[in-house]
Structure 1
Amino acid sequence: MRKLLPFVIATTVLMGCASSKKYYEKGNYDAAIGLAVKKLRKKPNKEKEILILEQAYERANKKDNERLNYLKLEGNPGMWDEVHSRYTSLKNRQSLVSEVLPLEILSTGRLVQFPMINYDEEIINSKKNAAKFFYEHGIQLLAKGDRENAKAAYFAFKKVKAFYSNYEDVDQKLKEAKWLATLKVIAEPIPMHSATFSLSNEFFDNKINEFLSTMPASEFVRFYTVEEAEAEGVDNPSHVIKIQFDDFVV
């Protein structure tokens, strides 16, 4: 226990050092807002936290709005994912600070309020446009017919799925992209003809299959036995593993 005590004390001190002012000074405005709101829930008249909240909220919103203006001015068709993210941040931030409003700075009698803006239309429109962009982009990538573009298409369709779980035929497109992007490796049975020892090939086949089933999972690599490959129509595998013993001696 004595060895653990310094670590526990150090951790407690570090946690205690966090302050909304320090977050604000480092430009981490949302962290400053979150901590200030947490403290103001307990002490609504804490002037220092009110001022930090006011400044951090203004800076954070300004940063998001400036970025949104730039994205819209640039007009890149791939902008909608970030546009959706920025508007969602604005809405969530507004919802958070509304929990402690109105606030009053007692030393001056000034009320601190923030204008409440409805971001729903922008969020919905950007969500629709983002899903449309990723879906069309995924189809373009998939049409190229190679593995790397199929992999990129798969992730594009996953973005669509995240926006709308039942968007058009996105589930089918995910399957197509995954199939084309996946390396298909067949492990063939081991032929063995021992002149000195007779042992069933089944023992070695089972060991190979056991090894393949415990290999680290990869989203785009799949190992098949010959039987599995035939059942799923894998007639053009990416790789075939062949192992052969000329002899076996015990």
Structure 2
Amino acid sequence: MNTISLPIRSTRIWGVLCLLCCLVLWSCRSGEKLYQKGKYDDAVTAFVKKLQSKPQEVTALQLLPEAYRHAQQLHEDRVNALLRSNNLHKWEAVRNEYRAMQRLYDAIHSSPAALGVVTPKDYRDAITGALENAAQTRYDEGNALMQRGDKASARKAYDEFAAALKLLPNFRDAKERKEEAFQAGIIHVVVSEIDVRSPYFQFSADQFRDYLVRTLEQRNVNRFVEFHDERFARAENLQPDQYISLRFMDFVVGQTYVDRLQREVSKEIVTGTTKDTSGKTIDIRTIVKATIFTTKKTVVSKGLLDYQITDVYNNRVLRTDRIPGSYTWLNQFGTYRGDSRALSEEDKKQIGGQDIAPPPPQELFVEFTRPIYDQLERDLRSFYSYVN
């Protein structure tokens, strides 16, 4: 049993050794190729990995210092070019260059052999300084935007303060300034009470408006847009930025149409048998008749919703449209008089049912406004989702 297992283990060990040798050889060639192509950061990383597994590898020891020197020079040149530029956010790009160099610093420190031939520069202080400058730039830009005093600038200021905090989470009073910018940038949209020109349907119209406001708030259409019911806005003395006026126009509820149809049907049927003079059996046929009475009651409700979005400060109409909606309630029933044998299978399908009352007007109002509501909600979500 041992004589069988030893060769298998030896083969496996030999395979692993071969694989490691291949990896070292590939790493060596890969580092040289990267170096020759001017990809100095990648070359440094490849040479360090090579020296971690083979500390005496000659090519890596020779080329690593050159690769690092070229990489450092390349990043330093980029930093100097950025610092001379007018790029407002150049410190963030500078930070990225320093971080790339710090990654090389960390890589070289992971290999004693690499440290023996290269003394990498520690860029931690440079990164910290670049971060502070980058955050300060964002912070100053946010303050400058806030001084403009308009909502669009406040929303941009919010993004600048947020960017400063992303760079340095506790930078100065950026959290407080961010919240101030948010509040200053909010667009308060008041949704009007709905004029339906009929007190009978006012409750249903109010429900329409209440559900619309609640849904828009729950959908969180835009973080800088808040929707308010006009009644509550008035009670809280809220000054709106935009006003959505809603009015149902040209609507009818419960317009009823009744169609009564009557038609005669007949069918020849076999009622028995008899024999003729020759003694042959023959069918006795007769004609049976019936009268079918069908009633089709249709109740139509339809109307238009006119809506308009207005900028309160300059009375400019931002959007206006009319949305149609309709609902048709149908009840059909039928009876017959006469011989049921005269009815076909299709006739029988029309028989039955009963005369029932349509839904109450308030329910019909709700039904015809459903498609209007769906379209209105889509319109408003689309319109306000692009506020920035």
Shared fold (TM-score greater than 0.5)?
A: yes
- Find the residue that maps to 2:247 and give its secondary structure: coil
- Find the residue that maps to 2:228 and give its secondary structure: strand
Q: Which residue of 1 aligns with 2:100?
A: 89
Q: 1:207 to 1:55 in 2, by over 3 A?
A: farther
How far, CA to CA, are the matches of 2:35 and 2:234 in structure 1? 61
Q: 1:70 to 1:198 in 2, by over 3 A?
A: closer
Is 214-223 or 82-91 further displaced after alignment?
Answer: 214-223
Q: Which residue of 2 aligns with 1:159?
A: 163
Q: Spell out, residue by residue over 1:26-47, the C-alpha distance to the aligned partner (whole angstroms, 9 max, x if none).
A: 877656766x489659844696
> Is the contact made by 2:50 and 2:57 (CA closer than 8 Å) also made in structure 1?
no
Is 85-94 or 216-225 further displaced after alignment?
Answer: 216-225
Which residue of 209, 213, 228 maps to 1:209?
Answer: 213
Which residue of 144, 147, 151 maps to 2:151?
Answer: 147
How far, CA to CA, are the matches of 1:230 and 1:50 in structure 2? 77
Tell me whether 1:62 sits opposite 2:66 in the alignment.
no
Q: Which residue of 2 aligns with 1:79?
A: 90
Tell me whether 1:132 sits opposite 2:122 in the alignment.
no
Q: CA deviation at 1:65?
A: 0.9
Report how many residues are paired: 223
Q: 1:46 to 1:115 in 2, by over 3 A?
A: closer
> Is the contact made by 2:108 and 2:120 (CA closer than 8 Å) also made in structure 1?
no
Q: Which residue of 2 aligns with 1:122?
A: 126
Which residue of 159, 162, 185 maps to 1:181?
Answer: 185
> Is the contact made by 1:141 and 1:152 (CA closer than 8 Å) also made in structure 2?
yes
> Is the contact made by 1:54 and 1:112 (CA closer than 8 Å) also made in structure 2?
no
User: If you compute each CA radius of gyration, which structure gives the higher value, 1 or 2?
Assistant: 2
Q: CA deviation at 1:90?
A: 1.6
Q: Per chain length, whose mean CA-contact separation is higher, i.e. which structure has more relative contact order (CA < 8 Å, sep 6+)?
A: 1
Q: CA deviation at 1:226?
A: 3.5
RMSD: 4.1
Q: Unpaired runs of 5+ in structure 2?
A: 1-28, 254-363, 365-388
Tell me whether 1:242 sits opposite 2:251 in the alignment.
no
Q: 1:49 to 1:98 in 2, by over 3 A?
A: farther
Is 151-160 or 74-83 further displaced after alignment?
Answer: 74-83
Q: Unpaired runs of 5+ in structure 1?
A: 1-18, 104-110
Matched AA of 2:162: K
Please report the TM-score for the alignment, with normalisation by the length of structure 1: 0.65
Q: Spell out, residue by residue over 1:106-148, the C-alpha distance to the aligned partner (whole angstroms, 9 max, x if none).
A: xxxxx97432212222222222222222222221121112233
> Hey, which of these two has a bigger chunk of helix by percent?
1
> Is the contact made by 2:186 and 2:225 (CA closer than 8 Å) also made in structure 1?
yes
> Hey, which of these two has a bigger chunk of strand by percent?
2
How far, CA to CA, are the matches of 1:217 and 1:178 in structure 2? 15
Matched AA of 1:221: V
Is 214-223 or 36-45 further displaced after alignment?
Answer: 36-45
How far, CA to CA, are the matches of 2:39 and 2:227 in structure 1? 46
Q: Which residue of 2 aligns with 1:13?
A: none
> Is the contact made by 2:187 and 2:225 (CA closer than 8 Å) also made in structure 1?
yes
- Find the residue that maps to 1:224 and give its secondary structure: strand
Q: 1:77 to 1:245 in 2, by over 3 A?
A: closer
Is 155-164 or 57-66 further displaced after alignment?
Answer: 57-66
Please report the TM-score for the alignment, with normalisation by the length of structure 2: 0.45
How far, CA to CA, are the matches of 1:148 and 1:218 in structure 2? 14
Q: CA deviation at 1:206?
A: 3.6
> Is the contact made by 1:101 and 1:113 (CA closer than 8 Å) also made in structure 2?
no
Matched AA of 2:178: L
